[in-house]
């Protein structure tokens, strides 16, 4: 699942009806409501079906969904992650391991 907390990051945002009971489950088991869905557009690269989750403070990109939907592989190293196209190995993105143990996306094209 891709998720953001800032609606300004999404184009084509569709808010879910208030009676919809969709939620995102956090690692601690708590749940936050999904209030919309849209597309992230970065440098000509689109990530569709990104959930707007009320209360999320970091943006989450699913490695599995990048592989399945975009044919992108993620190669993890000790302090960074390189995103490459599966077909030809072209680098299309990179993330750096932050002090809090989360990989921060530096670019995606």
d(CA 7, CA 23): 16
- The HSE-up count of residue 93 (CA atoms within 13 Å, CB side) is 28
pLDDT digits (tens, 9 = 90+) for 60-95: 888 899 899 889 999 999 999 999 999 899 999 999
Is residue 7 scored above 90 in pLDDT? yes
Q: Token pair for residue 18?
A: 């208030």
d(CA 100, CA 87): 32
36 pLDDT tier (thresholds 50, 70, 90): very high
Mean pLDDT across 93-102: 89
20 pLDDT tier (thresholds 50, 70, 90): confident
Query: Residue 31 in contact with residue 58, Cβ under 8 Å?
Result: no
* 65 φ, ψ (degrees, to nearest 5): -70, -30
- Residue 18 pLDDT: 78
pTM comes to 0.80
pLDDT more than 90, % of the chain: 54
19 pLDDT tier (thresholds 50, 70, 90): confident
């Amino acid at each position: 699942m891709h998720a953001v907390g800032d609606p300004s990051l999404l184009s084509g945002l569709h808010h879910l009806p208030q009676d919809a009971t969709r939620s995102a489950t956090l690692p601690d088991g708590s749940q936050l409501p999904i209030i919309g869905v849209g597309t992230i557009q970065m440098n000509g690269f689109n990530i569709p079906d990104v959930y707007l989750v009320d209360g999320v403070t970091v943006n989450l990109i699913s490695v599995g969904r990048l592989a399945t939907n975009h044919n992108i592989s993620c190669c993890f190293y000790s302090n960074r992650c390189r995103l490459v196209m599966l077909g030809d190995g072209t680098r299309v993105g990179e993330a750096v391991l932050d002090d809090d143990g989360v990989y921060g996306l530096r670019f995606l094209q």
